[in-house]
Amino acid sequence: MNEDKFSQQIILLQQHLAILHKYLLAIDSSPLQALILQQIVLATAAFEDFCFVLEDLLVAHEELSQSNERLAAMESDCQDMNQSRQFQVQYSKQRLQVLNEQLRATVEALAKSDRSLENKNHDWLVVNEHLQSAIAQIKTTADSLEARNEDLQIKSEQLDTSNEELRLTTEKLRLSSNQVNQANAFLKSIFTSLPGGIVVLNQELNIQIWNPQAEDLWGLRSDEVQGQPFLNLKIGLPVEQLRQPIQSCLTGDLEYHEETLDAINRRGRTIQCKVTCMPLFILKKDIQGVIVLMQELHSAMPIL
């Protein structure tokens, strides 16, 4: 607005100078007038130059004002942009802070998870070590069981062989037992058929056989004296007097011994007892015991 007024005043001043110039031209010329006119013309030219310069300045001022307005607009835009950027920066900072907190929480959670995983991994390692130890023990046990199974198989085979041998031996023993039973029955029949009492002693001088005639003589049953020491019997026969000949027969120093002893039979009657001792041979060379024969001697009836 001020620039427009200033331009109008310049134009008005130019108009006044033009009018003054016309008046001076209309006045009669004189040296003073010519000089004034010259000065006015020079002033007018200078003023016109000034006006041109001033117009240029006004144009430049207007351009400068426009530039200032643009700069102000740009500055306002920059301020707006700065405010927007500050808001964005503040929002970004807040967002970054939130993200940082979330990241910290995530890192802590990951650290906890990592510790938990480490603990679980340690536990799994311990369990794995226990499992490996158990597997090794199981393998050792399996190897031991396998070796024991092999031993048992070998022993089973040996037992089968032994069982077969035992079966054969048992069969042989059964046959031998039958033969022995037959022989014992035969001997028993012989001992029973003999007229006197018969006692068979083993190497310890224990009674092995006690025939019925011995029962009838001394009053003791076979089951009462079976396995008892003969020299300790409490019977009517003075067995202590037979100790020496029985021992001699057992050692092989005597092949036969006979003597008559006074005795008391089971009825309490005094009798004369003929006692014969002889070794018990097996296969005619090994002495397995002693045979004692006891026979009551009957005195001859007097002739009337």
How would you classify the pairing of strands 270-282 and 257-264? antiparallel
In a domain, 62, yes or no: no
Residue 126 lies in a domain: no
Q: Is residue 132 part of a domain?
A: no
Cβ(187)–Cβ(211) under 8 Å? Answer: no
Does 205 have pLDDT greater than 90?
yes
Give 129: exposed, middle or buried? Use CB within 10 Å, 0-12, 13-18, 19+. Answer: exposed
State the pLDDT confidence band at 258, using cuts at 50, 70 and 90. very high
Structural domain span for residue 206: 196-297
CATH number of the domain residue 235 falls in: 3.30.450.20
Q: How many domains does the chain have?
A: 1
pLDDT score for 282? 75
Assess if residue 64 is contained within a domain.
no
Distance CA 118, CA 208 (A): 87
Is residue 68 domain-resident? Answer: no
Whether pLDDT at 206 is above 90? yes
Pairing of strands 207-210, 286-297: unpaired
Write out pLDDT tens, residues 37-46: 666 666 666 6
The residue type at 233 = L
**What mean pLDDT do residues 186-208 have?**
84
CB 217 within 8 A of CB 265: yes
pLDDT digits (tens, 9 = 90+) for 275-304: 999 998 876 678 889 999 999 987 644 433
- One-letter amino acid at 204 equals E
Percent of residues, the chain, with pLDDT higher than 70: 80
pLDDT tier at 55, thresholds 50, 70, 90:
confident
**How confident is the model over 124-180, as pLDDT tens digits?**
899 989 899 989 989 898 888 888 888 888 988 888 888 888 888 888 878 866 875
Q: Distance (Å, rounded) from C-alpha 63 to C-alpha 7?
A: 16
Per-residue confidence (pLDDT) for residue 303, from 0 to 100? 38
pLDDT at 207 over 70: yes
Q: Give the Cα separation of 5 and 14 in Å (integer).
A: 14
